[in-house]
Amino acid sequence: MGLTITEKILASHAGKAAVEPGEFIIARPDMVMGNDLSTAGAIGVLKQMGATKVFDPEKVVIVFDHLVPAKDIQAADLLKGVRQWVREQGIALFYDEGRHGIAHIILPEQGLALPGDLIIGGDSHSCTYGAVGAFSTGVGHTDLAGVLALGEIWLKVPASIKFTYHGTLGPWIMGKDLILATIGKIGIDGALYQAMEFRGPALATLGMSERLTMCNMAIEAGGKSGIIVPDGMTLAYVKERARRPWTVYQSDPDARYVAEYDFEITGMRPQVAKPFSPDNVVSVDEVAGTPLDQVFIGSCTNAKLEDLRIAARILRGKKAHAGTRLIVIPASTWIWNQALKEGLLEIFAEAGAAVSTPTCGACFGGHMGILGAGEVCLSTSNRNFVGRMGHPTAQSYLANPAVAAASAIKGCIAAPEEVGA
């Protein structure tokens, strides 16, 4: 019986020839990621464990994203404590203010997530790195401390679900639309404990930015991981970034899947997740005209350079609606600099947007665009649960950056063609 790419990666990191879904393994990761919040939590647990040193400072990357620049005194003290610990541990892969960005974008961008890797991240959206053909999953800060101390983690081998995308992408259809349609179809726990393997002729035409968005939201269907078998597009992406060797795994033709779903995307309309769940998905046409207090273009899901280019193409020479705030937060310092050079930040500024330095910001209700009571937002982020972006009575709709840009101009939810795009 054949193996999936997920089973092959897990077997190789557990020192086994093969593994089976449901099996418990002890695996050794290639890279461990902590962000400001999860690292701060892990530092306390490491003390309780009696661990004075991380297992290998070269396999640890620490990224400041949730609270940077420090939003208040509490955050400043938290960041200060993490900085000191990073210095003590001799961790060179440290993305502090000025180099910072959202971890899930920094790792692939900087060549720290590579095909065949096993990556454990102290954040739920660590499933993002599956886009380069890695097995990656999110954990809490006690697990993060455990893997930092021991260099190993227990994992239950997940069964895999195969998602195949057929057809041709229409204008303004992005990876966000494919993954929202997928989550809408299988539900918020449709892939609980399982690996989501994305493939198919339509997927093969998607660039890395779209693939990152799709794997990013695997967790929104309860998935343990999202993964895409590397192809020429993947290898071209990693070749210019990697600083260490990697391994390409394929899924065998006779690999086992617990379920298979097929999606025909020709003619698909942009998808929107309505409050209060990412699986509450409809076509943009069903919610068009919904008045908006705020549009947020940001987060690990949709604030990559390609996302900003698409938003800028629609916003160029136009203004955000007078009654609608537009907030743009590029996902990483590199992206911010590129967006500056390409004139994207100028387009956003002239459109009346508030453009910020990289941070998770409003996505998790932290800072930089919190919603007040009853306010309505359209966001390019990944979750729209009650209270996620601010007040419990605020509402968030989730969509792709093209829909976000068009909606900012109209002041209400709008398809891109409604603003002449």
Q: Which residues bind another protein (CB under 8 A)?
A: 24, 37-38, 40-41, 44-45, 48-51, 66-67, 71-72, 74-75, 78, 122-124, 138-143, 145-146, 149-150, 154, 156, 188-189, 192-193, 219, 222, 224, 277, 364-366, 383, 385-388, 392
Query: How far from 265 is each of 111, 199, 213, 229, CA to CA, in Å?
Result: 31, 13, 17, 20
CB of 52 to another protein, least distance (A): 10
Cβ closest to another protein, residue 175 vs residue 222: 222
Cα–chain center distance at 312: 21
Least distance between another protein and beta carbon 112 (Å): 19
For another protein, which is the closer residue by CB, 82 or 414? 82
User: For residues 105 and 219, which CB has a smaller minimum distance to another protein in the complex?
Assistant: 219
DSSP state of 66: S
Shortest distance in whole angstroms from residue 183 CB to another protein:
12
Q: What is the DSSP string of 260-280?
A: EEEEE-TTPPPEEEPTT-TT-
CA separation for the pair 243, 87 (Å, rounded): 22
Our CB check for another protein shows the closer of 273 and 310 to be: 273
Q: How many CB atoms lie within 10 A of CB 244?
A: 11
In the complex, what is the shortest distance from the CB of residue 24 to another protein, in angstroms, rounded to a whole number?
Answer: 4
- For residues 307 and 401, the answer to whether their CB atoms sit within 8 Å is yes
Signed CA dihedral, 339, 340, 343, 349: sign only: positive
CB-nearer residue toward another protein: 321 or 388: 388
CB of 301 to another protein, least distance (A): 14
User: Residue 411 and residue 187: Cα distance in Å, rounded?
Assistant: 30
Q: How far is the CB of 339 from another protein (least distance, A)?
A: 26
Least separation in angstroms between residue 386's CB and another protein is 5
Residue 146 or 175: which CB sits closer to another protein? 146
Cβ partners under 8 Å of residue 85, min gap 6: 39, 43
- What is the Cβ-side half-sphere exposure of residue 31, based on CA atoms within 13 angstroms? 32
For Cα atoms 381, 269, 317, give the angle at the middle one, nearest 5 degrees: 65
- We find the least distance from the C-beta atom of residue 376 to another protein, in angstroms, to be 17
Q: Which residue, 100 or 383, is less far from another protein as judged by CB?
A: 383
Judged by beta carbon, residue 92 or residue 259, the one nearer another protein is 259
Helix-helix angle 232-239:208-216, to 10 degrees: 100
Contacts of 299 (CB under 8 A, 6+ apart): 102, 329, 331, 360, 361, 363, 379, 380, 381, 382
